[in-house]
C-alpha cells in the first residue's frame, strides 16, 4: 500500500511558499558566521523541479542579495511582511519541469527570530560568545530562504565557517562540512557555535557543552543514553541516524529539548546532579522515529509528532523502570494536561487544531498535543491489545518514514492494519472535541502514597491545629522517586483551597518545604513546583525567589507559568522582572511572555 506524502485536502497555512507545486530533491547551505555583526551570510541551493514558471519561498527578516537559476541571475521580489508568516520571496523565469539549481545569496538581520546570539557574559564560562538556533515551528525562514513547512523533507549538506566549534543537524564529513542523508523538514535545521567541548556518553553518543560543565553533563547522561536507545530500537526498529549526540546549551534555551537530528539540543535545567531528569533525553531520542522520521504535515496535526513521542518515551521508561513507573509518569502527565486545558483557548485543546493562516503556530503550543495525543495512543493500545498495537506501531513507522502525513492518513492506516478491532473508535470525538478526553485506568500504586501524604498536609484540622509539627518528618518521603515528589507537590497545590484561608497556611507550607528539604532541590521540576505552591500559599519571600529563578532560567515550561503566577500576585514585580531580563530570553520566549503579560 502506498501513501502520498502531502494529502491534497490538507494545506499548511503557516507557509507562503509554493511547496505544493515543486519537487524538492536536495538543499545545500554554505554559511559564514559573522560574530561582530551577529549575522549569518552565504547561500542556499535548492535542487528542485517546478510545475510553474515562478517559485515562492518563505523568508522572514532576511536580506536577499541575488538569486540564480542554473547559474544565471533571475528576477526576484520580496513581498511586504505578512505577520508571523514573513515575506514571500518570488523567483521568476524558472524552467517548468526541469530539475535545476535555485541558488539564493542572503544574510540574516538583527530581527532574525530563529537565532539567539549570546555575549560571553551570558554564557556559563564568560569567555566566548555563543550562537544557537531554534527553528520549530516557523523560524527556519528567518535563517535561510526555504519551503518552511513540515510537509516537505529533503537531504541536506552544510558548510559552516566559524572561528569557534560548530555543530549542525547532520554528521560531520570533513572539516567544516556536514551532511544529513535522511530527508528532514526545514524546522529540523539546527546550528550552534561557541566554546564547546565533547565527552563520550555511549557507544554512538557524545555530549557537547561549555568546558566548565561538560564533565557534569557527561556524568548525568552516560549511564542512560545507550540503554534508552537500545530500548527504543527494541520497541521500534534500528536507529537510522548513525550518531546520537546531546548539546547542553546556555540557560536561555527556551525548551526542555529540541530533537534536532544527530544533535539533541537540551536545557541545562535537566542537569540536576542526580540523573533524575534524563527522561527528557528519552523523549528527544524517541523523536528520532516520531517527528523526525515520520512527521506531521501541518502544525494542526502536531500530536502526530509529540503525542507519539510521549507515548514512546514512556514505553522506553516502562522497559527500563517497570510498567508501574510508566503509569505513574502518565498520571503526572495527566495533571499537566488538566492544567494546560484550564488556560488554553478551547480550539487549541483539540487533538486536530484548525491552524488558520492568521494563527501563529507558536500561539497554539501547549502540553495538549503531547499529553492528549499520548492518551489517545494509550487508549488505542488498550482497545486492541499491546501485541496488536505494537505490530501496528512498527508497521506505521516503517510505512511513513521519510514522509509527512496528517491525522486522516493515520486513521486510515490504523483501520487498515488492525481491522475490526478499530470499529468502536469514535474518531471525530477524539480528533475534534475540546477539553479533556476520557481518563484511562492508571495503575496508581506509586500515586497512593503521594495522595495520602498530600491529604494529611491539606487537612483543615492539620493546619488549624498545627498538627504537622508533631508528625511531619523527612522520612515521610524517603525512598520516593523524584517524580513522586513532583506529583505530591501538584496534589498539595490542587488542594490548597481547603486550607488557604487559615492563618497557619503559609506557615504549614513553609515547614513542608523545610522539613522535606524541597526548597534546596537542584531538580528544576521540583524547584518550580515548590515555588508555585509556596507563592500561592503566601510563603514570605517566595514570590521574590520565583522572580529571581525565572530571570535565570530561559525554559518556557517554567518561565511562562512563572510570569503568569507573578502577574496574579504582584503585577509590578512580574513586569519589572521581565523588563529587566527580557534580553536574556530567546525571541520566541520573549514574545510569548509579552502576550501573557499583556505588554
Q: Which is the catalytic residue, given 220, 284, 332, 381?
A: 284
Flag whether 301 is marked binding.
no
Flag whether 556 is marked binding.
yes
Flag whether 112 is marked binding.
no
Task: Give the contacts of 447 (CB within 8 A, at least 6 positions apart).
Answer: 328, 331, 487
Task: Give the contacts of 184 (CB within 8 A, at least 6 positions apart).
Answer: 153, 154, 155, 156, 169, 261, 292
Report the C-alpha gap between 188 and 18 in whole angstroms: 20
Report the C-alpha gap between 134 and 249 in whole angstroms: 12
Report the C-alpha gap between 184 and 260 in whole angstroms: 10
Write the burial class of residue 541 (CB in 10 Å: 0-12 exposed, 13-18 middle, 19+ buried). Answer: exposed
Flag whether 306 is marked binding.
yes
Flag whether 324 is marked binding.
no
C-beta of residue 253 within 8 angstroms of C-beta of residue 267: yes
Flag whether 592 is marked binding.
no
Q: Is 304 left (phi over 0), alpha (psi -120 to 50) or beta?
A: alpha
Report the C-alpha gap between 256 and 484 in whole angstroms: 20
User: If we measure between CA atoms, which residue out of 264, 236, 156 comes closest to residue 400?
Assistant: 236
Cell, residue 28:
545545500
**SS3 sequence of 370-385:** HHHHHHHHHHHHHHHC
337-354 burial string, b = 16+ CB within 10 Å, else e? bbbbbeebeeebbbbbbe
SS3 assignment, position 106:
strand
Q: Which is the catalytic residue, given 19, 370, 516, 563?
A: 370
User: If we measure between CA atoms, which residue out of 65, 114, 66 comes closest to residue 86?
Assistant: 114
Residue 168, beta-bridge partner list = 191
Antiparallel, parallel or unpaired: β 191-193 and 130-133: antiparallel
C-beta of residue 21 within 8 angstroms of C-beta of residue 97: no
User: If we measure between CA atoms, which residue out of 537, 331, 340, 339 comes closest to residue 450?
Assistant: 331
Report the C-alpha gap between 17 and 147 in whole angstroms: 6
50 backbone dihedrals φ, ψ, rounded to 5°: -110, 145
Report the C-alpha gap between 363 and 11 in whole angstroms: 19
Flag whether 287 is marked binding.
yes
C-beta of residue 535 within 8 angstroms of C-beta of residue 543: yes
Flag whether 76 is marked binding.
no
Residue 130, beta-bridge partner list = 118
Flag whether 557 is marked binding.
yes
284 noted as active-site residue: yes
SS3 assignment, position 493:
helix
Residues 546, 552, 556, 562, Cα dihedral to 10° = 10
C-beta of residue 473 within 8 angstroms of C-beta of residue 515: yes
402 noted as active-site residue: no
Flag whether 283 is marked binding.
yes
Flag whether 254 is marked binding.
yes
Report the C-alpha gap between 67 and 92 in whole angstroms: 10
User: If we measure between CA atoms, which residue out of 406, 348, 345 comes closest to residue 372?
Assistant: 348
Residue positions in the annotated binding site?
134-136, 254-259, 283, 287, 306, 555-557
Active site amino acids: 284, 370
Residue positions in the annotated binding site for a peptide?
134-136, 254-259, 555-557
Residue positions in the annotated binding site for Zn(2+)?
283, 287, 306
Amino acid at each position: 500500500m502506498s501513501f502520498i506524502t502531502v494529502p491534497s485536502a490538507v494545506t499548511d497555512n503557516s507557509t507562503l511558499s509554493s511547496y505544493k507545486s515543486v519537487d524538492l530533491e536536495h538543499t545545500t547551505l554554505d554559511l559564514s558566521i559573522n560574530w561582530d555583526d551577529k549575522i549569518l551570510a552565504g547561500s542556499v541551493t535548492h535542487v528542485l523541479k517546478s510545475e510553474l514558471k515562478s517559485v515562492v519561498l518563505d523568508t522572514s527578516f532576511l536580506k536577499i542579495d541575488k538569486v540564480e537559476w542554473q547559474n544565471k541571475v533571475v528576477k526576484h521580489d520580496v513581498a511586504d511582511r505578512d505577520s508571523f508568516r514573513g515575506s514571500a520571496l518570488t523567483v521568476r523565469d524558472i524552467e517548468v519541469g526541469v530539475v535545476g539549481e535555485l541558488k539564493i545569496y542572503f544574510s540574516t538581520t538583527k530581527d532574525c527570530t530563529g537565532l539567539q546570539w549570546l555575549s560571553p557574559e551570558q554564557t556559563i564560562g564568560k569567555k566566548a560568545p555563543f550562537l544557537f538556533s531554534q527553528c520549530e515551528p516557523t523560524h527556519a525562514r528567518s535563517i535561510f530562504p526555504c519551503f518552511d513547512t513540515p510537509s516537505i523533507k529533503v537531504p541536506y549538506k552544510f558548510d559552516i565557517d566559524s572561528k569557534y566549534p560548530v555543530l549542525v543537524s547532520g554528521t560531520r564529513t570533513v572539516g567544516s562540512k556536514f551532511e544529513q542523508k535522511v530527508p528532514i523538514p526545514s524546522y529540523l535545521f539546527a546550528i550552534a557555535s561557541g566554546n564547546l567541548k565533547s565527552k563520550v556518553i555511549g557507544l554512538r553518543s557524545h555530549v557537547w557543552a561549555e568546558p566548565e560543565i561538560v564533565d557534569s553533563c557527561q556524568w548525568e547522561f552516560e549511564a542512560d543514553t545507550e540503554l534508552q536507545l537500545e530500548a527504543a530500537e527494541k520497541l521500534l526498529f534500528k536507529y537510522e541516524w548513525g550518531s546520537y549526540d546531546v548539546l547542553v546549551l546556555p540557560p536561555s534555551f527556551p525548551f526542555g529539548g529540541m530533537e534536532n537530528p544527530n544533535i539533541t539540543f537540551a536545557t541545562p535545567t535537566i542537569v540536576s546532579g542526580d540523573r533524575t531528569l534524563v527522561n527528557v533525553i528519552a523523549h528527544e531520542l524517541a523523536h528520532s522515529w516520531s517527528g523526525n522520521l515520520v512527521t506531521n504535515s501541518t502544525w494542526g496535526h502536531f500530536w502526530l509528532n509529540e503525542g507519539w513521542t510521549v507515548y514512546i518515551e514512556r514505553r522506553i521508561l516502562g522497559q527500563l523502570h517497570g510498567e508501574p513507573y510508566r503509569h505513574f509518569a502518565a498520571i503526572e502527565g495527566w495533571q499537566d494536561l488538566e492544567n494546560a486545558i484550564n488556560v488554553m483557548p478551547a480550539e487549541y485543546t483539540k487533538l486536530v487544531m484548525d491552524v488558520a493562516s492568521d494563527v501563529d503556530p507558536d500561539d497554539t503550543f501547549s502540553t495538549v498535543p503531547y499529553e492528549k495525543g499520548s492518551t489517545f495512543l494509550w487508549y488505542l493500545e488498550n482497545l486492541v491489545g499491546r501485541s496488536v498495537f505494537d505490530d501496528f506501531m512498527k508497521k506505521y513507522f516503517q510505512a511513513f518514514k521519510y514522509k509527512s502525513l496528517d491525522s486522516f492518513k493515520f486513521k486510515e492506516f490504523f483501520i487498515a492494519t488492525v481491522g475490526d478491532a478499530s470499529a468502536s473508535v469514535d474518531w471525530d470525538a477524539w480528533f475534534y472535541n475540546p477539553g479533556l478526553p476520557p481518563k484511562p485506568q492508571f495503575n496508581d500504586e506509586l500515586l497512593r502514597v503521594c495522595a495520602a501524604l498530600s491529604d494529611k498536609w491539606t487537612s483543615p484540622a492539620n493546619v488549624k491545629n498545627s498538627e504537622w509539627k508533631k508528625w511531619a518528618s523527612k522520612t515521610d518521603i524517603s525512598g520516593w522517586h523524584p517524580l513522586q515528589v513532583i506529583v505530591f507537590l501538584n496534589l498539595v497545590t490542587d488542594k490548597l483551597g481547603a486550607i488557604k484561608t487559615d492563618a497557619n497556611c503559609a506557615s504549614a507550607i513553609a515547614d513542608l518545604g523545610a522539613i522535606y528539604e524541597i526548597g534546596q532541590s537542584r531538580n528544576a521540576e521540583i524547584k518550580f513546583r515548590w515555588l508555585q505552591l509556596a507563592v500561592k500559599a503566601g510563603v514570605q519571600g517566595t514570590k521574590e525567589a520565583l522572580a529571581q529563578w525565572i530571570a535565570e532560567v530561559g525554559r518556557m515550561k517554567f518561565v511562562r507559568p512563572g510570569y503568569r503566577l507573578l502577574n496574579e500576585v504582584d503585577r509590578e514585580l512580574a513586569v519589572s522582572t521581565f523588563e529587566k531580563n527580557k534580553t536574556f530570553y530567546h525571541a520566541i520566549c520573549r514574545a510569548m511572555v509579552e502576550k501573557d503579560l499583556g505588554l
